[in-house]
Amino acid sequence: MPSNKSVSDAPIVQFTSCRILRDHQLQREDLWVREGKILNPEKLFFDEKGSADVQLDCKDSIIAPGFIDVQINGGFGVDFSLATDDFKSGIDLVSQKILSHGVTSFCPTLVSSPPSVYHQVLPQISVRNGGAHGAGILGAHLEGPFISKEKKGAHPEHCLRTFEAGAFQDLLATYGSLDCVQIVTLAPEMRRSSEVIRELTKRGICVSLGHSVANLSQAEEAVQHGATFITHLFNAMLPFHHRDPGIVGLLTSDKIPAGRRVFYGMISDGIHTNPAALRIAHRAHPKGLVLVTDAIAGMGLAPGRHTLGQQVVEIDGLNTYIAGTKTLSGSVATMDTCVRHFQEATGCSVETALEAASLHPAQLLGIEHKKGTLNYDSDADFLMLNDSLCVQATYIAGEEVWRQDVLGM
């Protein structure tokens, strides 16, 4: 066998008998991986005169990029909005457990909390690569506390804040640090929000609009200042109205700056959004749809009482409510469930459903050159799925980190 040593001693793995999601299509070709990256086989054959060291028969599985969850509040008994002594072991547990649901990277999300919670929790979140230990951490998503009281949803009112005279300094004082922050959700109708959006965007932080009573022109102004995301579309915002469609109107607005795309999160769990609303959003702006779980500590646990930050939450089947109310508070859906529900509800292609949980969140965060695709030289974070879009195996950096136990099926 020709030597691969001219370029690298690392073994080359060839995944055969599979359908790869590449360029928006499932393509029947092999996937080549070396040193945690997707390899271009042509370069391997012609430039290096190399070949595979290991061949793996995928038995006609679909191979798709790993899922990226940009809004997850916790799971499996862990609540990211609670400052605990063992916070790090909690985040490790969640990152390990979500591998079985196809999530290879995520943004741990904190709901509106007192400043002391941000000051304790944020220093314990660090951006890191995924691996056998669990999914990679892309940075925190801070959902609140600069949001509307009228649309606070499950956020505790006593934690909500407005921007004072030194608006950005006020935000910094509240959070303590922005070192590991990837996304901030705020209400754009708040006074002084424009300067905050500009400052966050300047620092490479994604600004999302949510928990808001903003009208369309306020939302458009926020986008012109740099906002690029909408937090859980339809939930915790003004309902669509034909004379002023509010934030929802951004999906078809003609005032989005040239070359900019607005993305929007959808909780596709069959509870938060009626399938008809999911279809309307998808048909209006398919390339912006990002599937999120908005999962809470109770995901993966039995029904009963759990927490979401400062609130007690009751889980009843797939419904989660603030205890004693009918206010929805996050979901207990896993990402693979959301992908399947989205495909079923919209009738979209398998490729479209998979990209809504991989390519689109990567594009939102500006990391599509390394995550969310199976292009050559991108990170070898991928899934093997069957035709029903059930995850059979999860790989990070080309290494298998989870596999379905066939005996347990």
Annotated binding site: 143, 154, 211, 232, 235-236, 243, 272, 328-330
Binding residue numbers for Zn(2+): 143, 211, 232
Give 89-92's long-range contacts (Cβ < 8 A, gap of 24+): 91/124, 91/125, 91/137, 92/133, 92/134
**CA–CA distance, 146 with 155 (Å, rounded to integer):** 11
Fill in the DSSP letter of residue 46. I
**CA–CA distance, 406 with 61 (Å, rounded to integer):** 15
Please count the other Cβ atoms lying within 10 Å of the Cβ belonging to residue 370: 14
Strand partners, 394: 383, 402
Binding residue numbers for substrate: 154, 235-236, 243, 272, 328-330
Active-site residue flag, 336: no
225 contact partners, CB below 8 Å, separation of at least 6: 194, 197, 198, 201
Nearest Cα residue to 80 out of 314, 364, 306, 324 = 306
Dig out the tokens for 120 from the structure.
């304790």
Active-site hit among 69, 79, 269, 294: 294
* Phi, psi (deg, nearest 5) at residue 385: -130, 155
Fill in the DSSP letter of residue 186. E
Dig out the tokens for 72 from the structure.
């997850």
Query: Within 285-358, where are the H helices?
Result: 335-346, 350-356
Extract the runs of DSSP E, i.e. beta strands, from 304-351: 304-308, 311-316, 319-322
46: left (phi over 0), alpha (psi -120 to 50) or beta: alpha
- CA angle, 77 then 78 then 82, to 5°: 130
Strand 12-22 relative to strand 25-28, pairing: antiparallel
The answer to whether the Cα torsion of 67, 73, 77, 81 is positive or negative is positive
* Phi, psi (deg, nearest 5) at residue 108: -55, 130
List active site positions: 294
